[in-house]
Amino acid sequence: MTLGKVQDPLAWLALECRRIFLRDHVISVQIGAHDFEKGKAQRVVFNVELFVPYAASTPQDDKLSEVVDYDFVREVIAQRVSTGHVELQETLCDDLANRMLAHAQVVAVRLSSCKPDVYPDCAGVGVEVFRMKAMP
């Protein structure tokens, strides 16, 4: 089954792709649009899923070079947040998803960020995005 012949791209992802994930990755980020958020870093929790076709992620020799390395996800996040303050989670998530989707083996990305310390009366506030490469 090839991507171009499938009517439902989500069905293709479910049937033909391996889902690589990073859960509850906590990192300090300078983020926020409110005055009380500016000038200091706060915890942000990231959850990432990368969809990689089995054909591009099934190791033959049990070597890390044959798959998408989890370190790739962590490095993309670390590099982006090191560039300085970002106002909106939407901006950060869109940018991260696009950077991860640029990986040759990745065909789709689901990514969320959550700021758990912004408001005392809730567990967190966040954003989730899903991006998929265009079908040929």
Domains of the chain: which residue ranges?
Answer: 3-132
Residue 15 neighbours by CB under 8 Å, 6+ apart: 1
Three-class SS state of 97: helix
In CATH terms, the fold of domain 3-132 is GTP Cyclohydrolase I, domain 2 (3.30.1130)
- pLDDT above 60: residue 15: yes
Q: What is the mean pLDDT of residues 41-61?
A: 92
The pairing of strands 17-29 and 125-132 is unpaired
Q: What is the mean pLDDT of residues 123-129?
A: 97
Sign of CA dihedral 74, 76, 80, 83: positive
Question: What's the distance, CA 64 to chain centroid?
Answer: 20
What pLDDT, in 10s, does the model give residues 61-101?
888 888 889 999 999 999 999 999 999 999 999 999 999 99
The model carries a pTM of 0.89
Distances in Å between the alpha carbon of 133 and those of 4, 8, 39, 42, 47? Answer: 12, 14, 36, 32, 20
